[in-house]
Amino acid sequence: MGILWGICFLGELVLFLLPTPAVCNFIALDIGDWNAAAAKAVGPRFWDIEDIVRSSSVVNFTQTGTFFEKIKAGKAVTVLAFGDSITSFGGGCYQRDADHIKQYVPTIGPAFFGARCREERTTMGWLSIFMHMINTTWPHPDHILINDGIPGHSLGNFAESTCIEPMLPSNPDLIILEHLPYLEEASRMSQTLELLIHRLKLNFNTSTFPPTILVNMHELVGYQDPKFQSIRDCLLKLGEKCDSACTSAFKGLPNAGNSNTLEVELKTDLVASHYGMTSLSYGPVLRSIVDRQQQGSTTGRASRALQESRQMSECQVFTSLFLDQIHPTLVGELLLADLLVNYLAGAMAHFTLQNDEATATRTQSHGAVQEVTSSQVFSSQQARELPLPLHAASLYIPVMRCFGTNGDHSNSPEGFHPSETLKVIKSDGWQLVREENGKFKPGWVSTTPGSVLRISMTSQLSHVHGISSTWQQQEELLIGITFLKSYEHMGVAEVSCMSGCKCANYTYDGHEPLHHHSIPFTVDTPGALLPHALKCIVQVMVSSSTLSGEYKVKVTQASLKTWLNISSSSAPVAQLAAVQLS
């Protein structure tokens, strides 16, 4: 039987003659054709492939071999995403309904209850747009996005302070980790990211690790920048945003970021390189768009959309891309999706080149072209085993039992069934809220000094997901309370252990004047469970002292945490110290 040959277009990167239809599902040549449904909704792009490729800090295409082998075999893929509100609120969803998600995870993450996730197969959100592109190219009714983004969460929060296990699918095909570098602790970034990788790996039903894309986002202007308030006012302004004052304010942006942000990105790139992952950076893309707009230049390969777009000022670029100094507009979400699509296009080109070379070799050897199937293209790519860690401490995995306020079924959205609920046995002066500013942000809130909240936690860790009797459990126990930290309205909490456990009393001030954000913050204090105690009861009281002049305290989670040493006998932690970074 003869072979049909056709043309496959893979991004702006390559053009090949390939056998069809076996390996000829393709990503379009012109960027203007990417994610067509979303592009029509937000208007023409004013960026091009030359801008998008600037995002590539560390690129590894070979990690996607297993992903393409599966999707080109006609099977559904599962994409898992972690991140802050850019992911939780801005990423969107991609599933048929709640029951579809429940087939993959015991607990549905909070992102599902956002307004964007109430429609089937929506293309609202940068991850939704990306999933739409996947489904358009390789259609399957069961492609699914598991969006585990949580507002205000850094990768450090996910690694050390959040019970992520109930929200994890057993075998994802692609992982996307988005974060804002300024939220991370630079001195610990590589160890934190590595810890998250090993914690995820511990819970996957596979001996290998899925392909992973790290997305380093960019804060347009920091809170301590003299321009912060004027730029924020311009972004939030209704109607015409770029008057003369705003046009002047945006001059010189985007900045490179502070030293902490730059160090965090370098540490992220280091870990990505070590583990064979891909690391993308949003800042250089913004810089490239602005530079080219100022020069008024396009390349010969510019997309139709770019050729038709007008020259734009910095103010016009950034007010088109940003809702505020952090979050993307619909246009910004399309740009973010394009970064992911471009990476897949490059990976397709990589494997197609390999296939093309293999076909040429066979032709020379046998004198005739032989059919090459999809499985042959990708089967040579072995799934990745994780290498030895850069940090020995990364093999001490946190084991947590979390009790969340979003677990009260009478106050949660229909169909939300988390594994553990926050049992409140006293709530004088406190109120359980579901939403703030129209977004699903459950928690116990009080604004009255002297108000008392008492929380009861089951004191057993033996049944926590992931614990194995063959691992060494550490003696230290941390008792954690997760509060809201914000630049406005926040007061001071006084925390003490009442019964069943003991810990040192402490105070926590939720007022954070240095950053213009509201984020969860977990305070872990060393403690111990009393012999034979079944419950650990912790009290949170609103203090009469305040630095902000206000008294709001919000509690979103309580937790018990210890560690497991998961190092194997062939790679004990003591031997790994030789590769630990200074």
- Model confidence at 19, pLDDT cuts 50, 70, 90, reads very low
Is position 465 within any domain?
Answer: yes
Q: Is residue 250 part of a domain?
A: yes
- Specify the pLDDT at position 294: 81
468 shares a domain with 334: no
Instruction: Say whether pLDDT at 465 is over 70.
Output: no
409-to-44, 257, 424, 425, 492 alpha-carbon distances in Å? 44, 43, 13, 16, 29
Of residues 194 and 32, the one with the higher pLDDT is: 194
Residue 372 falls within a domain, yes or no? no
Domain count, the chain: 2
Residue 197, in any domain of the structure: yes
DSSP state letter for 491: -
Residues in the chain: 582
Residue 443 sits in the same domain as residue 335: no
Residue-wise pLDDT tens digits, 294-330: 887 655 455 555 555 568 999 999 999 999 999 999 9
509 strand-pairing partners: 492
Instruction: Tell me if 274 is assigned to some domain.
Output: yes
Please identify, among 289, 323, 351, the residue that sits at the C-terminal boundary of a domain: 351
Q: At which of 296, 323, 351 does a domain end?
A: 351
Report whether pLDDT(165) > 80: yes
Task: Give me the DSSP letters along 515-571.
Answer: SS-EEEEEEEEEEEEPTT--EEEEEEEE-S--SSS--BEEEEEEEEEEEEE---TTS
The CATH code of the domain that includes 85 is 3.40.50.1110
Q: What is the mean pLDDT of residues 541-569?
A: 87
Buried b / exposed e over 152-166, threshold 16 CB at 10 Å, is bbbbbbbbbbbbbbb
- Does residue 387 carry a pLDDT above 80? yes
Helix (H) or strand (E) holding 479: strand 477-486
Interatomic CA distance for residues 39 and 284, integer angstroms: 22
Same domain for 90 and 233? yes
- CA 433: distance to chain centroid? 25
Residue 460 pLDDT > 60: yes
Q: Are residues 407 and 346 in the same domain?
A: no
Range with the largest mean pLDDT of 97-111, 301-315, 350-364:
97-111
Q: What average pLDDT does the structure give for the chain?
A: 80
The answer to whether residue 568 scores a pLDDT higher than 70 is no
| Cα-Cα end-to-end distance for the chain | 61
- Torsional class of 549: left (φ above 0), alpha (ψ -120 to 50), beta (otherwise): left
Mean pLDDT of 511-522: 83
Same domain, 338 and 226: yes
Residue type at position 140 = H
- The CA-based angle 249-233-437, given to 5 degrees, is 150
More confident residue, 443 or 421: 443
> 406 and 260: one domain?
no
Query: pLDDT digits over 65-96, tens only?
Result: 999 999 989 999 999 999 999 999 999 999 98
Q: Can you give the residue range of the structural domain that contains 558?
A: 392-565
At 170-184, the pLDDT tens digits run: 999 999 999 999 889
> Residue 482's closest CA among 444, 430, 438?
444
The answer to whether residues 323 and 410 belong to one domain is no
265 inside domain: yes
- The answer, yes or no, to whether residue 231 has pLDDT greater than 60, is yes
* Contact predicate 123/129, CB 8 Å: yes
Are 271 and 174 in the same domain? yes
Query: Which residues are 502's β-sheet partners?
Result: 528
Report d(CA 443, CA 438) in Å as an integer. Answer: 14
- pLDDT at position 298: 56
Report how far residue 80's alpha carbon sits from residue 165's, in angstroms, rounded to the nearest whole number. 13
30 is a domain residue: no
Same structural domain for residues 444 and 307?
no
Mean pLDDT across 149-164: 90
pTM (whole model) above 0.85: no
Do the domain assignments include residue 457?
Answer: yes
Integer Cα distance of 46 and 341 in angstroms: 17
- Report the pLDDT averaged over residues 42-52: 87
176 and 148 Cβ atoms separated by less than 8 Å: no
Residue 11 per-residue DSSP state:
T
- Residue 425 pLDDT class (50, 70, 90 cuts): very high
Q: Would you say residue 99 has pLDDT above 80?
A: yes
> Span 151-173, mean pLDDT?
90
The larger pLDDT score, comparing residue 115 to residue 292, is at 292
167 token code pair: 């929200």
Q: What average pLDDT does the segment 426-453 reach?
A: 89
Distance CA 359, CA 370 (A): 7
Q: Could you give the CA distance from residue 197 to residue 394 in angstroms, rounded to a whole number?
A: 9
Q: How confident is the model at residue 446 (pLDDT cuts 50, 70, 90)?
A: very high
CATH number of residue 518's parent domain: 2.60.120.260
Q: 331 and 269 share a domain? A: yes
Q: Quick one: 329 and 412 in the same domain? A: no
Judgement on whether residues 509 and 447 belong to the same structural domain of the protein? yes
